[in-house]
């Protein structure tokens, strides 16, 4: 910061005064310093400190493996660190009154990872709910699992079902956790459900519209994703919420997920509020 100001000052003094061109005064430089430093150190605290907030945030928590490597540790250690971080981001989302938070925890493709890594992720699911469910319930958070629970081991399926049931009547943050989830599979499932309703005669094909299609997705009547964040610098969607991100704003911070702090999350939310959204119009 100081360096930047010194640089600006040194540049200004190189310019000689010319008729009609006033050199910026010391006060002008001081004001500039105050403004830049205010912008850099501005720390939003409450919902009111953000010009606008997304109604629905989705996060692809990428970079656990690289984080583990950087710390010369097993990949499971990275996933554990990532889960610790997850708690903070959920708390912050709840604090800010964000309506929906969707997290990509385990994709249908993640089964292709080594048995040890899959086992570590499955264990984390159990540990996460064992340690968090009371707090989430007390905070009025509603948990919804996106994905097919039937293919999961019994213990994980039961834990997830219980978490959903215990929080089903809550009215606060919608916490959507994608486990054994794939966006194309979600769309196929919705199409099949609608097809079955048509075959049974309770729905006419011409009555199928975008609203009905959306209602048959896991996310049901929740709003579309406004902000999609993928950490670690990768810029892919990886089959996450294909329908729901139709008009989302995207951010790709380079930070690895376990290091993605609440401060950076706030910055991402602030960056979102600066985006001009036109939804295809002008
Ligand atoms: C991607 O990083 C991350 C995952 C595949 C899993 C993310 C899961 C968690 C943070 C914890 C599980 C969540 C719950 C709710 C228990 P990567 O391993 O692909 O990273 P890399 O690209 O650096 O290898």
pLDDT digits (tens, 9 = 90+) for 243-281: 999 999 999 999 999 999 999 999 999 999 988 877 778
Sign of CA dihedral 17, 23, 26, 27: positive
pLDDT at 4: 66
- pLDDT above 70 covers what percent of the chain? 88
Residue nearest to atom 14 of ligand 1 (CA): 125
Q: Residue 17, SS3? A: coil
Q: What is the pLDDT of residues 113-139, one digit of tens each?
A: 999 999 999 999 999 999 999 999 999
Residue 113 lies in a domain: yes
pLDDT at 278: 77
170 pLDDT more than 90: yes
pLDDT at 241: 98
Q: Is 239 a catalytic residue?
A: no
Expressed in angstroms and rounded, the spacing between residue 61 Cα and the centre of ligand 1 is: 6
pLDDT at 27: 72
Token pair in block for residue 14: 């190189």
Residue 215 lies in a domain: no
> Could you tell me which residues come within 8 angstroms of residue 76 by beta carbon, excluding any fewer than 6 positions away?
68, 116, 117, 120
Q: Which of 78, 79, 160 has most ligand 1 atoms within 8 Å of its beta carbon, as the pocket-test mutant?
A: 79
CB-ligand 1 contact for 159 (6 Å cutoff): no
2 pLDDT more than 70: no
Residue 201 lies in a domain: no
Residue 147 lies in a domain: yes
CB-ligand 1 contact for 123 (6 Å cutoff): no
CB-ligand 1 contact for 64 (6 Å cutoff): yes
Q: Which of 59, 63, 64 has most ligand 1 atoms within 8 Å of its beta carbon, as the pocket-test mutant?
A: 64
Q: What is the pLDDT of residues 95-113, one digit of tens each?
A: 999 999 999 999 999 999 9
Cα separation of 147 and 111, whole Å? 13
Alpha helices in 168-216 (DSSP H): 183-199, 210-215
- Is the pLDDT higher at 211 or at 33? 211
Residue 40 lies in a domain: no
The active-site residue, picked from 49, 110, 239, 259, is 110
41 pLDDT more than 90: no
Cα separation of 199 and 180, whole Å? 28
Average pLDDT rounded to a whole number, residues 143-167: 98
Cα separation of 244 and 218, whole Å? 10
> Which of the four pLDDT bands, split at 50, 70 and 90, describes residue 31?
confident
Q: Residue 104, SS3? A: strand
Q: Which of 58, 65, 178 has most ligand 1 atoms within 8 Å of its beta carbon, as the pocket-test mutant?
A: 65
Residue 266 lies in a domain: yes
Average pLDDT rounded to a whole number, residues 130-156: 98
Q: What is the CATH number of the domain that holds 80?
A: 3.40.1180.10
Range of 244's domain?
A: 51-181+226-273
60 pLDDT more than 70: yes
Residue 211 lies in a domain: no
Say how far residue 261 (Cα) sits from the centre of its chain: 12
Place of tokens 């213990």: 155
Instruction: Name the CA dihedral angle for 136, 142, 144, 149, rounded to a multiple of 10 degrees.
Output: 60
pLDDT at 42: 72
Rg of the chain over Cα atoms, rounded to whole angstroms, equals 23
Token pair in block for residue 199: 């075959």
Residue 253 lies in a domain: yes
Atom number, ligand 1, closest to the C-alpha of residue 128: 16
Cα separation of 177 and 64, whole Å? 17
Q: Is 62 a catalytic residue?
A: yes
202 pLDDT more than 70: yes
Sign of CA dihedral 208, 211, 217, 218: negative
> Which of the four pLDDT bands, split at 50, 70 and 90, describes residue 186?
very high
Place of tokens 């010009």: 51
DSSP 8-state symbol, 165 = H
Sign of CA dihedral 251, 254, 256, 259: negative
Atom number, ligand 1, closest to the C-alpha of residue 85: 10
For residues 233 and 254, the answer to whether their CB atoms sit within 8 Å is yes
45 pLDDT more than 90: no
Closest CA to 90 of 148, 167, 184: 167
Q: What is the mean pLDDT of the chain?
A: 92
Q: How many domains does the chain have?
A: 1
- pLDDT above 90 covers what percent of the chain? 81
Atom number, ligand 1, closest to the C-alpha of residue 78: 18
The whole-model pTM stands at: 0.86
């Amino acid at each position: 910061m100081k360096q930047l100001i010194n640089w600006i000052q040194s540049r200004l003094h190189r310019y000689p005064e010319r008729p009609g061109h006033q050199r910026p005064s010391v006060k002008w430089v001081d004001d500039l310093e105050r403004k830049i430093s205010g912008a850099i150190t501005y720390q939003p605290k409450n919902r009111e400190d953000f010009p606008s907030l997304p109604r629905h945030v989705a996060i692809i928590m990428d970079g656990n493996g690289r984080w583990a490597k950087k710390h010369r540790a097993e990949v499971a250690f990275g996933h554990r660190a990532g889960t610790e971080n997850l708690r903070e981001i959920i708390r912050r989302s709840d604090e800010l009154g964000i309506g929906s938070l969707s997290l990509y925890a385990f994709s249908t493709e993640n089964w292709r990872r080594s048995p040890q890594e899959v086992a570590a992720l499955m264990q984390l699911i159990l540990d996460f709910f064992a340690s968090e469910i009371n707090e989430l319930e007390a905070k009025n958070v509603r948990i919804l699992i996106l994905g097919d629970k039937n293919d999961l081991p019994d213990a994980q399926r039961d834990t997830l079902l219980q978490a959903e049931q215990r929080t089903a009547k809550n009215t606060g943050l919608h916490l959507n956790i994608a486990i054994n989830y794939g966006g194309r599979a979600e769309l196929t499932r919705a199409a099949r459900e609608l097809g079955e309703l048509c075959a049974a005669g309770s729905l006419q094909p011409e009555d199928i519209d975008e609203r009905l299609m959306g209602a048959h997705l896991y996310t049901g009547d929740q709003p579309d994703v406004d902000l999609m964040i993928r950490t670690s610098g990768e810029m892919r969607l990886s089959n996450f919420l294909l329908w729901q991100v139709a008009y989302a704003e995207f951010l790709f911070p380079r930070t690895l997920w376990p290091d993605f702090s609440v401060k950076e999350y706030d910055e991402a939310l602030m960056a979102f509020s600066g985006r001009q959204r036109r939804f295809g119009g002008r």
